Structure 1
Amino acid sequence: MAVRWDIFCTVVDNYGDIGVTWRLARQLVAEHRCAVRLWVDDLRAFERLCPEIDVTLSEQWQQGVQVRHWPGEWVPTEAADVVIAAFACQLPSAYMDAMAERQTTPLWMNLDYLSAEDWVIGCHGLPSVKYKHVQKYFFFPGFQAGTGGLLREAGLLERRRQFQQDAGAQRIFLQELGVERAPDTCLISLFAYENAGVASWFDAMASDTQAFHVLVPEGRVLGDVERWLGIDGLKVGALHRRGALTVQVLPFVRQDQYDQLLWCCDFNAVRGEDSFVRAQWAGRPLLWHIYQQEEDVHLEKLEAFLRLYTQGLSQAAQKAISGLWRAWNAGQDMAEHWKATREQQQELAEHAQAWCLEQASRADLAAALVKFYGNWI
């Protein structure tokens, strides 16, 4: 009998929460032969990642995963063998009772947010609260030994390598999105939250001698792009040039296509958690727009990652990329930091590849979860 897993996702940040849980659910089914129910409270957000989703259904199957809409009124359901509360979401009280009523107690885990902070290693795998006799455990994704690792499907890096070595495949993929890449042009993807730093960054690229082509999938940063261009209501397919910079609006694409977009680009600006991890697997230099939290707690997480990520870089490269990330996340002027980053582009490109391989040397998140369950029983 396949081990039954229930994964609960409350959509908070549009796509990050569901992006992570959808990837995880599919991988558990495809690679570990688990029976997975993915409970989602917002099917509209899910639909953007998986267009086949029927938002009117309370239950459906997608890519081997049973997708259940998590409505306000709970329907009595038997608890699974493994229960994951993604990002500390609160489970329905009736479901918690169902966990406690099982003859065999389920493994209950809180799959937490990704962080490079030192304390994560010490807390990973520790017991948390109890509900009746059901013990909850912390499970932390992470970048170091002693954490749960990162989501990475089998063969991902080999598929990426083949794609990045195939200029024809890249050209066909970009053309399907309406993108024509000119020779000797630096291709950049931009997926971010609202950010006042867009104007200074675009100004710097527009006035450069190097040609840049920035691809902007539909999202929250489009308002800042519109203000810089002086245009209202940018639509998919819009293409504008100013100086050395070409800006093009792309449709919001499904996850496998987004991976390929990242693989095509020379530099990727990403946001949140899911796209942040996928940009690291792309093996290209990146810029992370971290999700803003109260009292600037997110900046501590940003600094923790920078301390880890920049190890092994020269002082100049370390200063350049760290300065760029800090300015971006503070909405400050990007011009000098971008110039410094461009001057260190070769070292930063080599470092991105090395970092990717280092992270891939560890167990992936899905495998770590399955192993944790195996050890627990």
Structure 2
Amino acid sequence: MRRQWDIFCTVIDNFGDIGVCWRLAKQLAHEHDQSVRLWVDDLVSFATIVPTVNPRAQQQNILCIEICYWQQAFVEAEPADVVIEAFACELPEVYVTAMLQKKKPPIWINLEYLSAEPWVTQYHGLPSPHPHFCLTKTFFFPGFVLGSGGLLREKNLLARQDAFDQKADQAFLQRKGLLNRKDDEIRISLFCYENAPIEKFIQVLSESTVPVLLIVPQGIVADRIVALFNHASSQINALIHHKQLTIQIIPFMEQTDYDLMLLSCDFNFVRGEDSFVRAQWATKPFIWNIYPQQEGVHWKKLDAFLTLYMADLPVEAASAVQAMWHCWNGKYEMNSLIWENLAAFHRSLMQHNKNWVNQLLELEDLVSNLVQLAENRL
């Protein structure tokens, strides 16, 4: 049945939150024929990954999804049948009041951050009564195991990836202005936070025994790399050559193109949540820069994922993965040995990642789980 959905998103780390919410909105509208309204408080960041977004428009319709600018002085709006509060953002008071006035209160879902920690399955689906009003929200935890909410995965995702052969790859590189491959080249996409050991990694890659292409989106990290080489500017598609390393700075890509870039590269450095999940579907070796939290809380989250992900990896490969991930997130200093140990397991990690994806495919996808939850309660 066609339902009305409101998704509320506050943009915290520029791209991860809105990236997840936009994929969610598209899948609800296009695969489940739902009517979707997406409330976003930062249209400028949104426009970076969806160029058709007008950052000055109060309301606009893109791909059959209504996009509304979520201002502090919230305008009155009729609440939808299903309301998603993404990543613990707080709904406007006027909207909550309007929810109370509906004959049948909306299904209110708190879409939480993704985690592999064991407690997730205990809290997924639990109710949380409002302290003052006769309203209840439901905790919905994405996850990697049965009993969680699953992961975002479009129905045609694997078919799109299967169609990405060598010819399609070449066409993609040409369309996006990316350099053609050299013989024996290692191609790396780099999307990370400022806390990653970027300068040290650049030094390590420069001393590689084979050519390396490092693809970096424009932004603060690209500016740091440019400063490292005293390059003239960080203009889009700028090229920097140093020993065995070539760095290409590119504009941010729309999500479907970013997914293709992950398929095109040999190693993918990703950050936050959205690119982290997409890197897993791409099956290429990946390194996750987790969002840092106070008192090192993020380490539990990172190691919980590694425990799940590496369960079937041989000891040597698991050790190489763990060392690189811990190093990349600042536990100890980056060095060439840590990177070379990881790179040596490229082929076996490719096979491992295919097995990992097959394991994830046994779970229902996140959006289907959300729709089922809503239908069970409406």
8 Å CA contact 1:187–1:265 kept in 2: the answer is yes
Pair 1:342 & 2:343 matched? yes
Shift of residue 332 of structure 1?
2.5
Mapped to 2, the partners of 1:195 and 1:184 lie a distance apart of 30
SS state at 2:235 partner: coil
Shift of residue 360 of structure 1?
2.1
Between the two proteins, the alignment pairs up a number of residues equal to 375
Shift of residue 106 of structure 1?
1.0
8 Å CA contact 2:152–2:365 kept in 1: the answer is yes
Q: 2:312 matched to which residue of 1?
A: 312
Mapped to 1, the partners of 2:294 and 2:215 lie a distance apart of 30
Q: 1:153 matched to which residue of 2?
A: 154
SS state at 2:170 partner: helix
Matches within 5 A, 1:98-137: 98-130=98-130, 132-137=133-138
Q: Which moved more, 1:207-216 or 1:101-110?
A: 207-216
Q: Describe the superposition over 1:329-348 as per-residue Cα deviations: whole angstroms up to 9, x where unpaired.
A: 01721422111112222211
Matches within 5 A, 1:1-377: 2-130=2-130, 132-163=133-164, 166-179=165-178, 180-231=180-231, 233-330=233-330, 332-377=333-378
Relative distance call for 1:305 and 1:62 in structure 2 (3 A) is same
Mapped to 2, the partners of 1:218 and 1:149 lie a distance apart of 31
SS state at 2:100 partner: helix
Shift of residue 280 of structure 1?
0.7
Q: Describe the superposition over 1:66-86 as per-residue Cα deviations: whole angstroms up to 9, x where unpaired.
A: 111111222211111110000
Unaligned stretches of 5+ in structure 2?
none
Q: Please tell me the residue identity of whatever aligns with 1:89.
A: C
8 Å CA contact 2:128–2:136 kept in 1: the answer is yes
Q: Describe the superposition over 1:40-85 as per-residue Cα deviations: whole angstroms up to 9, x where unpaired.
A: 1111111112111122221111101111111122221111111000
Mapped to 1, the partners of 2:234 and 2:105 lie a distance apart of 53
Mapped to 2, the partners of 1:27 and 1:206 lie a distance apart of 41
8 Å CA contact 1:195–1:221 kept in 2: the answer is no
8 Å CA contact 1:214–1:248 kept in 2: the answer is yes
Q: Please tell me the residue identity of whatever aligns with 2:172.
A: F
Q: Describe the superposition over 1:109-130 as per-residue Cα deviations: whole angstroms up to 9, x where unpaired.
A: 1000000011111000001232
Query: Please, what TM-score do these two structures have when normalized by structure 2?
Result: 0.96
Shift of residue 18 of structure 1?
0.7
Give percent identity, aligned residues only.
44
Q: Please tell me the residue identity of whatever aligns with 1:318.
A: A
SS state at 1:221 partner: helix
8 Å CA contact 1:200–1:335 kept in 2: the answer is no
